[in-house]
Amino acid sequence: MARVGVFVCHCGVNIAAKVDVAKVAEEVGKLPEVAFARDYKFMCSSPGQNLVKEAIKEHGLNRVVVAACSPKMHLPTFQKAIAAEGLNPYLISMANIREQCSWVTEDPEEATAKALDLVTRQVKRVAHQDPLEDIDVELNKTAIVVGGGIAGIQAALDIADGDRKVVLVEKSPSLGGKMAQLDETFPTLDCSQCILTPKMVEAAKHPNIEIRVNSEVATLDGYVGNFDVTIRRRATCVDEERCIGCGLCQEKCPVKNVPDEFNAGLANRPAIAIPFPQAVPAVPVIDRERCLKLTKDKCGACAKVCPADAIDYSDEGSEETVKAGAIVVATGYREMDPAVYTEYGGGTLPDVITGLQFERLVSSTGPTGGHLKRPSDGKEPKTVVFTQCVGSRDPSRGHEYCSGICCMYTAKHAMLYRHHVPDGKAYVSYIDIRSPGKSYEQFVRRAIEEEDVRYLRGRVGRIMRLKSGKYRVFTEDSLVGRPVAIDADMVVLASAVEPQAGAVELAQTLGIAYDADGFYSEAHPKLKPVETATAGVFLAGACQGPKDIPASVQQGSAAASKVLSLFARDTLKKSPQVAKVDPTACTGCLTCSYVCHYSAIEQSEFAGRQVAEVVAGKCQGCGACAATCKNKAIALAQFSDDEVFEEMLR
């Protein structure tokens, strides 16, 4: 015999402004199942929760309905409250009379009628809910970090320092990501490689971290605590174990004109190459499309000169399956290709370059040894225009969002330019200056006030190539209201931050959500920045949204802390929302097992017949089987036909 207690929340004025909560409580109190009903200002508060506890005691309640905000908000709050009072935490349900009622309905009468209906449904439903116990699941305490940039390295180090094993998977041949390509970082002008490489080395040498470069996650099966991950390594044709990193192979390789990805296309590399001198691991990779041996069965020079016999042309790549309990996704970003802006030359003007390309030009490890030279003729540029917001804040041909880092790196670029070319003129064309971090504003002011960088507020309308080899940049100084034309030797476009190539495919492989721009979705924009809606999969760094190095490091550590608390116990408490077969009704057709995405249904035996059986540990509670069974022999706890129909049918 159900004795339901109903608590209708005002939520301040959020609900009470449209819904007559007192009336709802009064009307609901008349239902036969309801033993107690009242309204209250803030149910989620301590006194609010105490009301529930006291009512359970005083009125012998065996079911509770809280009519308030979305269950996604506070169901766990109230579950804990009733559990503390000895009532099974699955004997409660919530009526969503805020997000799905008071906040979306104009007319108070209609809102009140809808609220009453919604609460009534939950009362009927909860009466059919059964007590359930959480399931203990063993968990595997290995973490996989996808992406070896600064965010991924930080996450891996923190997890490994917490005495847990990490497999760090990186698509390219080396750790480091974008940070390895930078020259100096804002706001300190620290050398990027100098602060990064110690971390790269630490990650490579850490006893708890296994590095897998040239690798990607091919498939992900399973669920939190028990993931089965297939990692696919590309065919590199170089044995990592044997290679001593001497570099003879790349010296001798006759193919010298492959565009170098690390140098953002400004230089060439051989067909076998170590990506950059400080690479970790410093093992070269053969480019299968440019290697003469692999494409035409000619040459073979690298194998001949290799002192360690590390070249293996027969390498086809490999696959391995790793069991893990948690995944951290830290796949970073890519720089937008500004060729869509034909007014800036559409990518055909050699001295109109992107931010990353500028970094490579001023880097001492770059194609010009750190001497700033024009790609077209190698001359030193005496006038440079830095253009902000190329592809950002532009819904028409680029992205609506702000890329967050360009104001800061443009100020840095302008200052680096002035350091390299003291008699050079630097102009920055900007719309706004966004410098929110610590010492960021001071950094920009330094560029303007001390380093003579001329800031012009206005967008660049066109870049015209002149016969002289210079570029006429048409912009404006909107603060004085005048158009401006600058004849520049070089133009640097602060191109937008975009999700990596293949980001959406990876999200679908990992089973995580992504937003309209392709960045990965966090579980809550304010309060859960590093979790995803998929339990056990966490986010860190620019794959979640454009951000700078300190923010990426913060998220790396944050994700690591989530992983470590997940791994803190030996078993995981799993929701009891699992399916169960009634073997007396089951005909053993096993259709349910075909629709189960988690392979959680097995063939079993009952009274000499073949029947289906659910492996509770694997079941994720989606209910596809329950919807498929023609005999209604399989039921999903918490979403049984009884419960759903009680809520639906009125």
Partner 1 sequence: MTGPSRDGETPKMKEEPKILGLLCRWCSYAGADLAGTSRFIYPPNVRIVQVPCSGRVDPVMIFKAFTEGYDGVLVSGCHPGDCHYGTGNCHARRKLAVARRLLETVGVDPDRMHFTWVSAAEGRKFAEVCAKFTERLKTLAGTEKTLARTGLAS
Partner 2 sequence: MPRQERLDQVKVSDRMFMFKPCVGENKYPGIINSIMHAMPRLGVEPVESDEQTCCGGFLTFTNVAEPTSTMPAVARNVAIAEEMGLDIVTMCNGCYTFLTEFTHFMDQRPPVKKVVNTILSMIGREYKGTQQVYHAVEVFYKLKDRIAERAVRPLDGMKFATHYGCHYLNGFKNEAIDDAFMPTVLEELITACGGTPVEYEAQRECCGTGLTQVILHKEEISLPHCQRKFDSLNEAAPDAVVVQCPYCLAQLDRMQHKLNWRKITDYKVPVIHLNQLVALALGVEVEKLGFGAHAMSLDRFVEKLPPLEKTAGAREVPVG
Q: Which does 628 bind (CB under 5 to 8 A by kind): partner 2, partner 1, none?
A: partner 1
Helix, strand or coil, per DSSP, at residue 416: helix
Q: Which does 31 bind (CB under 5 to 8 A by kind): partner 1, partner 2, none?
A: none
Tell me the sheet residues that pair with 286.
272
Residue whose CB is less far from partner 2, 298 or 397? 397
Residue with tokens 């030279």: 373
**Rounded CA gap, 303 and 321, in Å?**
30
Residue whose CB is less far from partner 1, 214 or 620? 620
Please list, residue by residue across 80-101, b when 16 or more beta carbons sit within 10 angstroms of its beta carbon and e when fewer do. ebbeebebbbbbbbbbbbbeeb
Residue 476 CB, nearest approach to partner 2 (Å): 17
Residue 343 CB, nearest approach to partner 2 (Å): 5
How far are the Cα atoms of 439, 444, 521 from residue 409, in angstroms, in the given order?
Answer: 13, 10, 26
Q: Which does 464 bind (CB under 5 to 8 A by kind): partner 1, partner 2, none?
A: partner 2
Residue 508 CB, nearest approach to partner 1 (Å): 5
Residues 306-345 binding partner 2 (CB under 8 A) are 342-343, 345
Asked if residue 346 binds partner 2 (CB under 8 A), the reply is: yes
Count how many Cα atoms sit within 13 Å of the Cα of residue 626 in the half-sphere of its side chain. 19
Task: Find out whether 96 and 15 touch, Cβ atoms under 8 Å.
Answer: no
**Rounded CA gap, 637 and 509, in Å?**
28
The site that binds partner 2 (CB under 8 A) totals a number of residues, namely 10
**What would the x/- binding string for partner 2 be over residues 375 to 414, using CB under 8 A?**
----------------------------------------
Residue whose CB is less far from partner 1, 489 or 647? 647
DSSP strands (E only) in 517-558: 537-539
Q: Which residues contact 300 (CB under 8 A, 6 or more apart)?
A: 293, 313
DSSP strands (E only) in 73-124: 92-96
Residue whose CB is less far from partner 1, 218 or 267? 218
Residue whose CB is less far from partner 2, 31 or 349? 349
Residue whose CB is less far from partner 1, 124 or 412? 124
Task: Find out whether 406 and 355 touch, Cβ atoms under 8 Å.
Answer: yes
DSSP string, 386-455: EEEEESSS-TTTS-SS--SSHHHHHHHHHHHHHHH-TT-EEEEEES-----STTHHHHHHHHHHTS-EEE
Task: Find out whether 144 and 577 touch, Cβ atoms under 8 Å.
Answer: no
Tell me the sheet residues that pair with 472.
464, 487
Residue of 50, 219, 348, 565 interacting with partner 2 (CB under 8 A): 348
Q: Which does 96 bind (CB under 5 to 8 A by kind): partner 1, partner 2, none?
A: partner 1
The first and second tokens of residue 532, run together, are: 């995803």
The first and second tokens of residue 20, run together, are: 């007559």
Q: Which does 248 bind (CB under 5 to 8 A by kind): partner 1, partner 2, none?
A: none
**What would the x/- binding string for partner 2 be over residues 41 to 60, using CB under 8 A?**
--------------------
Residue whose CB is less far from partner 1, 30 or 296? 30
Q: Which residues bind partner 1 (CB under 8 A)?
A: 70-72, 96, 98-101, 103-107, 110-111, 113-114, 117-118, 121, 508, 511, 513, 515-516, 521, 533-534, 577, 595, 597-598, 620-624, 626-628, 636, 639, 641, 644-645, 647-650
**Rounded CA gap, 282 and 245, in Å?**
6
Residue whose CB is less far from partner 2, 227 or 341? 341
Residue whose CB is less far from partner 2, 307 or 469? 469
Asked if residue 467 binds partner 2 (CB under 8 A), the reply is: yes
Q: Which does 348 bind (CB under 5 to 8 A by kind): partner 2, partner 1, none?
A: partner 2
Task: Find out whether 151 and 555 touch, Cβ atoms under 8 Å.
Answer: yes
State the distance between the two ends of the chain, measured CA to CA, in whole angstroms. Answer: 21
Residue whose CB is less far from partner 2, 109 or 343? 343
From the list 40, 129, 50, 44, the residue with the least C-alpha distance to 85 is: 50
How far are the Cα atoms of 19, 25, 97, 98 from residue 104, in angstroms, in the given order?
Answer: 11, 21, 10, 8
Residue 474 CB, nearest approach to partner 2 (Å): 11
Q: Which does 585 bind (CB under 5 to 8 A by kind): partner 2, partner 1, none?
A: none
Residue with tokens 């990193």: 245
Residue 346 CB, nearest approach to partner 2 (Å): 5
Q: Which chain residues interact with partner 2 by CB under 8 A?
A: 342-343, 345-346, 348, 462, 464-467
